[in-house]
């Protein structure tokens, strides 16, 4: 069979301590030995669908043409749907219909079709109620990579019935920006749902000092381009590689020092004594 996609990408909350990721690789290779797997990451916090959606949505536009598999599935083994979503850009998405695929579909031009995975002959049987990355999603992804059209997995699902996850929106209120932590990373940076434009809307320019309110406490940071522009252990507010604002520290962990987590509210204000 002609290969339609040379790559399958894989994102999950499986971690690396157990055999789950390796088994999923093995299942794909047994069906499609010439297809390569790109691991986007497996450190998504357990059952954190929103974190998985955000990471996948940010990653897919940097991937080669591929079948994208995401398994963050707190309702595994229940009546939640397993789906293949076709995108305007072409690459299909495979995973549970719980919102984890939605931002990636949007990043790939939007969902144009969806099908419920129901054909048993495509799956590893008996299908486990607890490990459907192995038994459902990887076997289907392998066959999609080998050229099977999405409609062959099962009945069509109306696109407008898919579970969606929308990024929370920031709010500009006079001289304050109200945002939210949407992700923390390995380095302890706090990624926010705030863009540069929102800071500019309250008169903040590069080089200005900011008040950062989070967790009921107030801190000071510098709006800058690089972590090293602030002294060691000081806070930097900067545009990250996805063009979202992040709070970081020079040689430190903002997550640990601020005791912050995804979902926490953040308020920015320009300090009155900030120099241009």
Distance CA 207, CA 9 (A): 39
Residue 267 and residue 251: Cα distance in Å, rounded? Answer: 23
CA 32 and chain centroid, separation = 26
Q: What is the dihedral of CA 262, 264, 268, 271, to 10 degrees?
A: -110
**What's the mean pLDDT in 258-272?**
93
Q: At what angle do helices 138-145 and 20-31 cross, to 10 degrees?
A: 40
- For residue 276, what pLDDT is reported? 45
pLDDT value at position 275? 52
Q: Where in the chain is CATH 3.40.50.10790? A: 7-161
Tell me what the mean pLDDT of segment 152-166 comes to: 96
Mean pLDDT of 28-55: 97
Q: Kindly give the pairing relationship between strand 171-173 and strand 176-184.
A: antiparallel
Q: Does position 203 have pLDDT exceeding 70, yes or no? A: yes
pLDDT band for position 174 (cuts 50, 70, 90):
confident
Nearest to 175 by CA among 158, 208, 191, 198: 198
Instruction: Check residue 174 and give left, alpha or beta (phi > 0: left; psi -120 to 50: alpha).
Output: left
Q: What is the pLDDT of residue 31?
A: 97
Residue 274 binned pLDDT confidence (cut-offs 50, 70, 90): low
Joined tokens for residue 216: 């009921």
Q: Is the overall model pTM greater than 0.75, yes or no?
A: yes
What pLDDT score does 273 carry?
Answer: 67
Q: What is the CA radius of gyration of the chain?
A: 21
d(CA 15, CA 39): 11
| pLDDT at residue 222 tops 60 | yes
> Where do you find CATH 2.40.30.90 in the chain?
171-270
Are β-strands 36-41 and 7-12 bridged in parallel, bridged antiparallel, or unpaired? parallel
What value does the mean pLDDT take over residues 115-137? 97
Residues 210, 171: Cα–Cα separation, whole Å: 17
Residue 243 has pLDDT above 90, yes or no: yes
Per-residue pLDDT averaged across 22-51, rounded?
A: 97
The pLDDT of 32-43, averaged and rounded, is: 97
Q: Which fold has domain 171-270?
A: Elongation Factor Tu (Ef-tu); domain 3 (2.40.30)
Mean confidence (pLDDT) of the chain? 95
Specify the pLDDT at position 2: 58
- CA–CA dist 211, 199 (Å, integer): 12
Task: Provide mean pLDDT across the span 111-127.
Answer: 97
Nearest Cα to Cα of residue 186 among 57, 80, 42: 42
Name the 3-class secondary structure at 91: coil
Report residue 50: phi and psi, to 5°. -65, -40
Residue 212 pLDDT: 97
pLDDT value for 72: 98
Record the tokens describing residue 264, joined without a space. 């926490």
Q: Average pLDDT of 56-75? A: 97
As assigned by CATH, the class of the 7-161 domain is: alpha beta
How large is the average pLDDT for residues 86-102?
Answer: 97
Q: For residue 272, what pLDDT is reported?
A: 75
Q: Residue 128 pLDDT > 60, yes or no?
A: yes
Supply the pLDDT for residue 150.
96
How, if at all, do strands 245-249 and 235-239 pair? antiparallel
């Amino acid at each position: 069979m002609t290969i339609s996609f040379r790559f399958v990408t894989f994102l999950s909350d499986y971690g690396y301590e157990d055999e789950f990721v390796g088994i999923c690789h093995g299942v794909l290779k047994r069906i499609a030995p010439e297809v390569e797997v790109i691991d986007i990451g497996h450190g998504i916090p357990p059952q954190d669908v929103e974190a998985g959606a955000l990471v996948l949505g940010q990653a897919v536009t940097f991937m080669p043409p591929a079948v994208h598999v995401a398994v963050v599935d707190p309702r595994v083994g229940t009546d939640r749907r397993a789906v293949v979503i076709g995108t305007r850009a072409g690459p299909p998405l495979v995973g549970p219909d719980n919102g984890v695929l939605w931002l990636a579909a949007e990043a790939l031009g939007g969902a144009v079709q969806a099908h419920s995975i129901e054909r048993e002959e495509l799956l590893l049987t008996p299908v486990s109620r607890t490990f459907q990355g192995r038994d459902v999603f990887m076997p289907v992804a392998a066959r999609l990579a080998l050229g099977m059209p999405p409609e062959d997995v099962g009945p069509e699902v109306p696109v407008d019935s898919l579970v969606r996850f929308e990024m929370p929106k920031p709010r500009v209120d006079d001289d304050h920006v109200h945002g939210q932590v949407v992700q923390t990373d390995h380095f302890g940076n706090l990624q926010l749902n705030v863009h540069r434009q929102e800071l500019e809307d309250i008169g903040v320019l590069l080089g200005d000092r900011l008040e950062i309110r989070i967790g009921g406490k107030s801190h000071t940071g510098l709006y800058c381009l690089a972590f090293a522009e602030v002294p060691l252990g000081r806070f930097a507010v900067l545009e990250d590689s996805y063009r979202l604002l992040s709070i970081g520290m020079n040689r430190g962990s903002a997550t640990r020092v601020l005791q912050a987590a995804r979902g926490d509210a953040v308020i920015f204000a320009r300090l009155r004594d900030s120099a241009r």
